[in-house]
Structure formats: C-alpha cells, structure tokens
Structure 1
C-alpha cells in the first residue's frame, strides 16, 4: 500500500505538532488507555485523518488494524506506530508508546503538508480541540504546533544548545512561543500561573490537570503575517518580561522576511539541476537558497577547442579504445543505477540526475580522493562522452591520455574526461562544472 510522502508533493511548509512526555498509565489495559487518543483523533482530524497504519506492514486504518499494528510493534522498550495518508494532504504521524522501566510517557509527532490547509479557521479550531483533549487526558511537559519552516529558523528544539544538553533538559523553560502551546504544570509555575493565564493571546485556557493551553492566533497558516507576529511578540514578552519587545518583534519579522516566497530565475543551462538542489535543502532554508542560486552564473566551460585545433588520435588500436570508453561508462551505470535509475537511459536528463545525486551525496567530500580520481572520474567522463555522441551526433577522438581524449561535435571538440576531473574537485564544482551545463553548451554549438 503506497502512502503519500511529503517528498511526493511540491516542497511546501507543514504544520508540525510535537506532543512530548504525555503521562499515561502503562500498567492499564492499552485499549482503554489509548481509547481517548484515538477517539479524539477520529473526531478532530478535519481533512487530514490517517487512512494507513503501519506496524510490521501497512494496513488500511481501522481500530482493529491499529491494535494489530501495535501488537506487532511491541518490543522490550515500547512500540512506535506510523500513521499516514494515501492521498492529499500528506501526513507523517508517529505515536510512541513506552514500556517499563521506561517512564510512562506517550509521545506524538505530526506533520501535515501543506500548511496552507490550516488557513481554514474551522480546521484550526478542530486541531486546537484535538490537542486540548489529548493534553487534558495525557498531561504533557510541553507541546507545540507551528510552521515547520519557522521552527527551523527558531532552531527548535535546540534553541542554541548542543544536542546532548537539548536531550537532557528538553523544554525546561520558555525558549520560544509558537502558534499553539501547551505548558505542563512545572512550566506554568516557573512562569507564574497568574501571569500565564493573563497572557494577551487568542485563546488561553487552564486545563483540569494544571496544564495551560495557549494559542496566539486563530489560524496557523498566516503565522508570518505582521498581525500574527505582533500577537506572537506581545504574548511572548508578556510571559518573558526580561525580553525587549522591539527586539523580539524585529526577530520575528526577519524570520517572516526570510520565509517570503522568492521566484526562481535560474540560469537556463542549469535550471533543472538547481531546481533539484533547492528542493533538497531544509524548508526554512529554501527561499534563501533560491535567492542565492538566482544570482549563480556557472562559468563557461573551458574543456573545448575549435575543431580545426583538435588533437589527432595517437592510439594504436582506436576500436579497442572505443570499447574501453564503453566499459568505463558502464562502470558509472553500475555505480549509480540503484539510486539513479535513469542512468540506464543515457539521456541529457540522465546527466542532470547524475549531477544531483553526486551533489546530494556530497560525493567529492565524502569519498576518498584517490578512489574518485582513479575510478569515478574516468567513468563520469566516458558516460558524458557517450551522451554527446548519442544525442549530438559526436564521435570519439581517442588519445593515450584520457584527459586529452575528445568528442567532436560540430565545430568544436570537447574533453569529457577533463570536465569530469574538474567536476569532481569539490561539492561546489559539481555546480560550477556540471555535466548538464557542458551538454547544453555543446548542444548550442553543434551546428
């Protein structure tokens, strides 16, 4: 059963909920203890209800399939279940259930994409009511729902701490205020219950177990609007009177500006590659990356000569060399075919897929330089040369030295092995000297 992954959709912001350390009775019958959780989810997951539950395998969501998955996932320390959707919007939901001697703390994480789904006030109200019901039954240390992109800019959950400190201390004090917040009794008392209940926010409610629910604004999707940022800053500075309102508001507005959409205007020779690069970065870095790559101008390829200045063949057996180039190209296919299936097709589009995969893996940085130069560079150069021949009508001009080997296309000869060597110098050179760009330039000059 195929579920809809966030990777199947255009990269967009998500609504992220982290509901941590919800207390529950792990000694009680699990069905009775989790009944309120499931009942609330089914009542309030307005437009994004999971239809798949995953234990050892995926099943259509029903109560019985949920319990089957829970039984499958039980181990010595607990169980972790995934809940997903098969159609838009995308959902990635994890439910964590610990066993003794681990603390009896239920954990839930939810990502719903796109965030724009929560421009609807009724859907947002339902989401708030769902979290309220969960927090009333499973009192938490802290819970928050907010834009995934803005969480990234806020450095959540580290908040400037190292990973070990973050894991040790958790949300032990008020580091940030988000769209929806649930504060456990310890946090409430640390801030002051009276102060917290008097926060200027869209909704502030004390729950029966001493937790406090606080929602800054009616809808989650417009968190970055100036009105929502003003509300967020007012509430945050009320709870943290040590903070300067002007400074907090300026920081929030800067985050909104960072997330403001930037129209891609990439250099046409490498636009397909740069689009893939942008899609690979974290959602909170996406707009800055688009702006950076809009200004990117790849250097003109240097690996060519006019056809009348071509180096003549200097090998004893040209046919044997051509067979060797084919063998080298097959080595690249063998290296990448699992991650880049299009490499079998050997098309111009395959070059872009290869470029992206090497960039995605940080290949020049991760792998040993000796092996890159001895094995990857010859395979890449041969593969590039074969595509120039197949799609642009080129022909090999073999040379004893691979870096001098040329492909004649129209009025120019190209040096694919020299290009591959330059290409593999660094992660940045994968973009500066991409295979995609050389092919496009060769295509323009073949006439």
Structure 2
C-alpha cells in the first residue's frame, strides 16, 4: 500500500520522538499494547497513522497491527512501521524485543512539519501521549524535539564510539530537549531533588519514579533566544559540571546553522540543486543552500566554432549506432529515471540528479563507466540536442570527436559525458542540464 515518504516529501524541519522502555514480554501482545494504541488513537489527531506495515501494507486498524506484528516477528524481535497517505507525513516505527533477551519497547516518530507544533494545545496533546506511555511502560529515556536540532546535538552517540553508545545509552544528561522523560536510574544518577527543581515549563514526577521535563509550551520555537536560554539553564542545572556560557554559545551556534537561507541558485541548475538540497540532512540544508547559492558552473568547453568534417564511410550507420547506445541507457535506467523515455531537457535534469544521488562515478567500476555508461550518456545527450534544438549529427571515427551542429556551433556530447562522469562533483560542474541550456542559448 502506497504511503508518503517523509524523507522525500519533507522540505522543512519536523518533530522527532524517541522512546525507550520495557514491557511484559510474556503477556499477550494485544493486551500488553492495548494502552499504547488507545493513547495513540486518542492524542495523535491530524498525524494519526493511516497505514501499518509488517511485510505488507494495510489500512490502519488494530487487527492490521496484530497481523503486521505476526508477519514481522522473528525469534527475538519484531518491527512494524506506521505511515500516512496524506500530509502531514509520518514515519513511525515500533520495535519489540522478546525473551530470552530483556524485553524492550522502542518507538521512533517523525512528523512533518515542526511549524504545526506552534499551537500549545497540539503540543499538550503530544505531551499527554508521551506521559501516558511513560506511566504505563517503565521508561529508560524519551525525548521529543526538532529533527534538525537533534541531528546537530550529536545524538545518539554524543561523541562516543558506536559500541560505547549502544552499551551505555543515555547514561547521563547529554542534552535537554523540548520534551524529556528521564527513567528512575537516570533520575537517581542526577539526584531526584535536583531533577525535580529543574527550571523548566513543566517538571512532573510520574508514579513509577520517572520524571517528565518540558522546556516550554510549544516545540516549534526551540531556536529562539528565550528557548535557548531556558535549554541552557536546564542543562547546566542537571549537569553542574558544564559551563553555562559554553552551553549557551553552542546552542546559539546551532540556531544560527538552522537560520533559513533563501535559495538563489544558478537559473540553469535551480531544479537540480533544489533536489540536491532536499537530499542532505535537515540540519545541513541551510549550509548546503548557501554553498550552492555561490556555485556557478563553468561555461562548457565541449564545443567548436567550426565542425570537424565527418571521417566515416557511412555516417548514417554510425548515427544509427548512437541511437542504439541511447536505447541501451533507456533500457538500463527507465525504472530509476522514468522520464528518460521522453528524451527532454527535463529528463537530463532527472539523470543529473539520479547519478548524483547514487554517487555513480565513485561507486561503480571505472571500466563500466568509461566503456558503457559515458558513451551511452553522450549518445543520449546528443539525441536531446538533435530533438529539441534542431541539431544535426556529424559523426567521427573517434567517439569523443563526434559532434552535434546547433546553429553556428558544434557541440561534443561524448566528450562532455566523459568529463561529467569523472567524480560526484563533476556531475554538477559538468551537468548535462547546463550543457543543454548553453547550447540552447547559442542555437541562433
């Protein structure tokens, strides 16, 4: 069943929840998780899951949840996903670990967009959901915060190696987020009195010894000066070994890194570069936007003012061979790049993005690229010049000398394709899209 992919559809920051607890691994699953799903259905509201997946996707219902767990359950673990078909997009995973391992319940939730959590009532419902879960399931640690700022915080390792991070988990207060639940072990490590006296919007001791701490009434304004001051005060209160000015400076630097940067990309490459930005981590998008705003591709050098005369006995046969090369590319990539069938300028941009996303020049063997991919790309690129700019092939025995005459210039698509495929950066520096538009500007 189709559903939104939050990581492809989200153009802005979102809300992340991470929840780790234990549960009764010997009880019937339907009974043990009844409160979990009761609470979710009561408080989720506009981001309520619509699809549940084990091995197969189904419309959300309790019976679909149990079927998904039955499909996904292995000897010791089971993981199901919950999603939405319409915005706001949701990426939610529920992970269970069963005996003989220590039973564990892990929940991750990602919701777009964070701006929808500017309403205190909506944030209060979210907090009540987490509070109910933490009251029912013995929690070790839980947090909710901006996805982008969580990435900048260094979570989940916080500078530790991965094995140490997995072993120790959140064994001390590495960070204080918008919403936090500290389990009894962490509360005792900090000191219960100190934990309960934290300067924050809400501090509540739950009946099982956990403590819920909420920095402010809304999640969306986490980067404001007021919110950063509150975050620094709470963190230093819980960790007296930290320096307030240092903590606050780090938080301000994170806010600065997330300040929106307006895209001002090179006009030829704007459709491509906007997609490149969308593929980097949310925390890196503003920096990447600023970097690509400054990027100006060099003018293509793969052209001649006058053509080299064709030096082949049968130009028509060789031109037909270029068509075969192009069709080979279409056959190889039509699933990944459906627009390749259209042979349009837009399909060149789709190819640019596909090869960049896959890091094709650096992931695949050079003999494959030089012997097959680059020649096929050159033929396809030349075909777009012929079809859309009225170009004419001028075949040569040496492939990279073969030309397409457009107006008063001749262009060298095979040479361009070879340079294009040299590295991931060259996919942008020598993009197919920019080459086409430059030829377009000189066709008269």
Aligned residue pair count = 444
Indicate whether 1:421 and 2:425 are aligned: no
Larger mean Cα displacement after TM superposition, 66-75 or 97-106: 66-75
User: Which of 335, 338, 345 is the equivalent residue of 1:338?
Assistant: 335
TM-score when normalising by structure 2 = 0.98
Specify the alignment match of 1:133 in structure 2: 132
Specify the alignment match of 1:320 in structure 2: 317
Asked if structure 1 preserves the Cα contact closer than 8 Å seen for 2:202 and 2:215, the reply is: yes
Asked if structure 1 preserves the Cα contact closer than 8 Å seen for 2:134 and 2:181, the reply is: yes
Specify the alignment match of 2:81 in structure 1: 82
Specify the alignment match of 1:40 in structure 2: 39
Alignment of 1:384-399 (within 5 A): 384-399=381-396
Asked if structure 1 preserves the Cα contact closer than 8 Å seen for 2:94 and 2:105, the reply is: yes
Specify the alignment match of 1:18 in structure 2: 18
In the aligned structure 2, how far is the partner of 1:185 from the partner of 1:10?
Answer: 36
Specify the alignment match of 1:58 in structure 2: 57
Larger mean Cα displacement after TM superposition, 154-163 or 263-272: 154-163
In the aligned structure 2, how far is the partner of 1:7 from the partner of 1:392?
Answer: 37
In the aligned structure 1, how far is the partner of 2:294 from the partner of 2:423?
Answer: 20
Specify the alignment match of 1:350 in structure 2: 347
In the aligned structure 2, how far is the partner of 1:63 from the partner of 1:83?
Answer: 12
Specify the alignment match of 1:243 in structure 2: 242
Query: Structure 1 runs of 4+ off > 4 angstroms?
Result: none
Specify the alignment match of 1:433 in structure 2: 430
In the aligned structure 2, how far is the partner of 1:59 from the partner of 1:414?
Answer: 52
In the aligned structure 2, how far is the partner of 1:352 from the partner of 1:300?
Answer: 17
Task: Please report how far the alpha carbon of residue 193 of structure 1 lies from its aligned counterpart in structure 2 after TM superposition.
Answer: 0.9
In the aligned structure 2, how far is the partner of 1:438 from the partner of 1:386?
Answer: 13
Alignment of 1:114-133 (within 5 A): 114-133=113-132
In the aligned structure 2, how far is the partner of 1:156 from the partner of 1:274?
Answer: 28
Task: Please report how far the alpha carbon of residue 46 of structure 1 lies from its aligned counterpart in structure 2 after TM superposition.
Answer: 2.8
In the aligned structure 2, how far is the partner of 1:313 from the partner of 1:81?
Answer: 61
Aligned partner of residue 102 in structure 1, secondary structure: coil
Aligned partner of residue 161 in structure 1, secondary structure: coil
User: Which of 361, 366, 369 is the equivalent residue of 1:364?
Assistant: 361
- Cα deviation, 1:46-91, whole Å, max 9, x if unaligned, reads 3211122222322222222222322333321132121112221111
In the aligned structure 2, how far is the partner of 1:73 from the partner of 1:303?
Answer: 54
Specify the alignment match of 1:220 in structure 2: 219
Alignment of 1:289-300 (within 5 A): 289-300=288-299
In the aligned structure 2, how far is the partner of 1:331 from the partner of 1:71?
Answer: 43
Task: Please report how far the alpha carbon of residue 166 of structure 1 lies from its aligned counterpart in structure 2 after TM superposition.
Answer: 1.7
TM-score when normalising by structure 1 = 0.97
User: Which of 383, 406, 411 is the equivalent residue of 1:409?
Assistant: 406
Aligned partner of residue 111 in structure 1, secondary structure: strand
- Cα deviation, 1:270-322, whole Å, max 9, x if unaligned, reads 1111111111111110111000000001000001111xx21100001111110
- Cα deviation, 1:322-378, whole Å, max 9, x if unaligned, reads 011111111221221111011111100000000111111111111112221111111
Indicate whether 1:67 and 2:66 are aligned: yes
- Cα deviation, 1:218-265, whole Å, max 9, x if unaligned, reads 101111111111111110011111111111111111111111111100
Indicate whether 1:329 and 2:338 are aligned: no
Task: Please report how far the alpha carbon of residue 42 of structure 1 lies from its aligned counterpart in structure 2 after TM superposition.
Answer: 1.4
Alignment of 1:225-236 (within 5 A): 225-236=224-235
Aligned partner of residue 91 in structure 2, secondary structure: strand
In the aligned structure 1, how far is the partner of 2:287 from the partner of 2:57?
Answer: 37
Alignment of 1:100-115 (within 5 A): 100-115=99-114
